[in-house]
Amino acid sequence: MPYDPENVFAKILRDEIPSTRVYEDAEFIAIRDVAPAAPTHILVLPRGDGPIGPADLQDADAPWVGRMVVLAARIAREQGLTETGYRLVVNCGRDAGQTVPHLHLHILGGRMLHGLG
């Protein structure tokens, strides 16, 4: 499936939809989720078109994906989540709960997280 430049995250990246940004650089933005699943729920979005999800990643993507995970850990630390813990989540496809076809990483914390894992 080709990348849809009209998806909600693409519009957020172009500032067509407002967001509460907690981090921004040339490669990524991090925003507060509008429907948080935890007291702290931040999304890390890579800039640019695609990949849609983890299934589309290639070996050449490893450097920036690694930087995205390191950035998420830094944001979690800055949000005060490291003492009690946090979860990093990347969903892949509808059955996993991916609702936006733009690869992104969730940072969840601020309370006991039950369920998977």
Tell me the C-alpha distance between 34 and 42, whole Å: 9
Domains defined for the chain, CATH in brackets = 8-109 (3.30.428.10)
pTM for the whole structure:
0.94
- pLDDT tens-digit map of 24-62: 999 999 999 999 999 999 999 999 987 999 999 999 999
The catalytic residues are: 104
Q: What is the pLDDT of residue 116?
A: 63
Q: How far is CA 60 from CA 10, 20, 28, 56, in A?
A: 22, 30, 17, 11
For the segment 62-81, what is each residue's pLDDT rounded down to a tens digit?
999 999 999 999 999 999 99
